[in-house]
Structure 1
Amino acid sequence: MNQLTKKEWLRLSIIFLPNLMISLNTYMLQVALPEIQKTLGITFSDAQFILTGYSLGLATFLILSSFFGNRWGQKSILLLGISFFFCPIYYRRYNI
């Protein structure tokens, strides 16, 4: 049996980090749908349309990131995607 070293576990964790971020982001949007409904005064089907639009956008960017990753390198595209994920959080936190 092959045992993974600590370094390999770290690499594996870093590789799975974007998958966790995508899952959490989708979950947060689903949790926020009732509040979005109340704030915007829209129906449940309209709120579901927002979720569908988000999912389609996510799928599009996943395909594009694969293309650009093959062209410019997986690591650089991964770091760019992670920075795009955390920049709005940083902006919101410190009101830049």
Structure 2
Amino acid sequence: ISYARSSGPGGQNVNRVATKCQIRVSLAHADAWLPAEVIARLRNSPFTTKSGYMVFHSEVHRHQAMNRADCELKIVRAVAEASVLPLATKASTKERIQ
């Protein structure tokens, strides 16, 4: 987890307080808490870098804790989305494709 100065409006507060939050999650070490199928789907997500990290950042709030909570929510949503199994293709759809 790293923090930096946020951009945008905020007056002097923007220049003094590091409110922007960035969380990097290593997919190489995620096998301890995620199934292999979910990790494979997460590798194809737009949040994943070539080096195998998922990067989430937020600077929508003026408070560091709220931006961190927003990043954590993004992580939960990405993992939940990758955990959903794709639906099986119907037989009629397979026939139509062939």
- Give the number of the structure with larger relative contact order, counting CA–CA contacts within 8 Å between residues 6 or more apart: 2
- More strand, by proportion: 2
Q: Same fold (TM over 0.5)?
A: no
- More helix, by proportion: 1
| Structure 1 length-normalised TM | 0.36
